[in-house]
Amino acid sequence: MAKMNDFHQFAEYHRPIIEAYMIDTISFSVNDERRKLEHAMKYSVQAGGKRIRPLIATATYSMFHRDVSPILPLAAAIELLHTYSLIHDDLPSMDNDVLRRGLPTCHVQFGEDIAILAGDTLNTFTFELLADRLPLYFPAATVLDVIRRFAHASGIAGMSGGQVLDLIGSTVQASESYLFQTHALKTGALLSASVTLPAILAGASPSELTVLNLFGDHIGQLFQIVDDLLDVTQTSENLGKSAQKDIEQNKLTYIRVFGIDATRELISKYIAEAHACLDSLTNFDTVVLRSMVDYIGDRQA
Amino acid sequence: MAKMNDFHQFAEYHRPIIEAYMIDTISFSVNDERRKLEHAMKYSVQAGGKRIRPLIATATYSMFHRDVSPILPLAAAIELLHTYSLIHDDLPSMDNDVLRRGLPTCHVQFGEDIAILAGDTLNTFTFELLADRLPLYFPAATVLDVIRRFAHASGIAGMSGGQVLDLIGSTVQASESYLFQTHALKTGALLSASVTLPAILAGASPSELTVLNLFGDHIGQLFQIVDDLLDVTQTSENLGKSAQKDIEQNKLTYIRVFGIDATRELISKYIAEAHACLDSLTNFDTVVLRSMVDYIGDRQA
């Protein structure tokens, strides 16, 4: 792999590799009515998106090792898990979104029953993928630790728990602590795992892991704050999903708690803190991750 | 553990242990709004049921080892996975069931959004449980193999795939092959795994595994055939779920394809084949599993 000077260049190179790998792993070639399920899974996985999580995973691993192919199964599993969560979050009984990445959402395209099953099957499949492929490259005990943490980050102590807080958020008294907790779980846990789990597989030291864990938490919050800001400053066309949705659904957002100006200040603060984490990793080339922080903080969609 | 002479005695002893273990593992003690999610998970897990899958897992392991405590995490994970599948199958967009084990279904009790998330979280949690607890007793590489097979049995090649075939079954030309495939995946894969996975952990030889795999397939079909029969011969009160539901929804069942009499003959055939598998395991005490086959074939609810 040629040396990469910024996240944009890194993403251009790695995004198609990650996407091809994901589609390949969920090509089950079923020859009966289950093909509708396979189509629904592929539809949502292929619908695009920034692939920010698997790119973070790959960039983190690349700080330790030149050959990043061993991390592909984990990078793909993280994005497949994220895709399952989007399919379920979009359902009529949840956020009731009809548009995602500029396309009809999975339940609009395939029906609610198939959408639920597509999400379920992607969720389950991530574990099959990790247990099947990671042992080709890493010690079994380390892989088990990664699977345990991966499941933890997506369960009640992570993504699913955050989704419950988010759903109930429109009905509670707005508070900073509730807002932070919601986003730390709903978005932060998996983004943070996208840094931490590759670092564990790469053989990071305990002190490096501590720093990278903190770094993951910062970019998790940063990502969500920017998301909340874009909901009020961008058009649906630009976002590829329904804008102004948070306000419409009275979601508990950074905008609702802090207002636009203070939200922008928070963004600058989290960028600075994420950079500071990287500064402390003096033995590593952090140029791609540093540029990625700027990209997350600056994105317009 | 005292020697058990039949499945009834075995179940009476082990069911409360399995149930207490399950509730303990999903007691997360969250102290915020996520407790609604935890309540929904516990509600569905505590709603009862025969616990046939974890009992099969425990009985299989007990043929190899006197101390069955190492298999508890797997037995619990299988029942928790089964519970997730019931919660999602009952949803309005799926089978639209309001009654399960004599109680309101999860979405009736907690709302559709929480029910979807309770299923998701149970699904994810099974993997955390396996990755966390099994390595205390078994080699890491074996645990990874079990996790891979467990995920496979619940994915598109197993339970989820079977649910799709079942959903679409009301609209297709009734055929024996479609019926067998549906039930082999929807019910058979996880029941079969309840035999095979404990045998792998117990250290079964390849030939023993082959026999037990076949045995698992037979009791999987047997279980489902009896289920189809009970739907037309029992009352809702006795079943603890809506009777006559299959006919109402035009489901592809054994009754629809074969009629009641031929279905009863099929039940006798599968009982005999399951017994024959056990007969060939001459080095083992199969009395509990043999009695379990009779129980499954004879059950009235």
Three-state SS letters, chain A: CCCCCCHHHHHHHHHHHHHHHHHHHCCCCCCCCCHHHHHHHHHHHHCCCCCHHHHHHHHHHHHHCCCCHHHHHHHHHHHHHHHHHHHHHCCCCCCCCCEECCEECHHHHHCHHHHHHHHHHHHHHHHHHHHHHHHHCCCHHHHHHHHHHHHHHHCCCCHHHHHHHHHHHCCCCCCHHHHHHHHHHHHHHHHHHHHHHHHHHHCCCHHHHHHHHHHHHHHHHHHHHHHHHHHHHCCHHHHCCCCCHHHHCCCCCHHHHHHHHHHHHHHHHHHHHHHHHHHCCCCCCCHHHHHHHHHHHHCCC
| Closest Cα in chain A, distance from residue B145 (Å) | 7
Q: Hey, are the CB atoms on B120 and A124 less than 8 Å from each other?
A: no
Is A182 part of the contact surface with chain B (CB cutoff 8 Å)? Answer: no
Contacts of B111 in chain A (CB under 8 A): 93
Cβ-defined contact of A156 to B132 (cutoff 8 Å): no
pLDDT-based confidence at residue A3 (cuts at 50, 70, 90) = low
Contact A120 B88 (CB under 8 A): yes
pLDDT tens digits, A220-239: 999 999 989 998 887 777 76
Contact B181/A at CB under 8 A: yes
B149-201 per-position pLDDT tens digit? 999 999 999 999 999 999 888 777 778 899 999 999 999 999 999 999 999 99
Chain B neighbors of A150, CB-CB under 8 A = 127
ipTM for the predicted complex comes to 0.94
CATH fold group of domain B7-298: Farnesyl Diphosphate Synthase (1.10.600)
Tens of pLDDT, residues B94-137:
999 998 888 999 999 999 999 999 999 999 999 999 999 999 99
B174 touches chain A (CB under 8 A): no
List, for residues B24-80, the tens digit of each pLDDT value: 999 998 988 999 999 999 999 999 889 999 999 999 999 999 999 999 999 999 999
Percent of chain A past pLDDT 90, that is, above it, reads 79
Would you say residue A125 has pLDDT above 70?
yes
DSSP state of B205: -
* pTM for this predicted structure: 0.95
- Find residues 93-122 of chain B whose CB sits inside 8 Å of chain A: 93-94, 111-114, 116-117, 119-121
Query: Are the beta carbons of A113 and B93 separated by less than 8 Å?
Result: yes
Flag if B33 and A164 touch (Cβ within 8 Å). Answer: yes
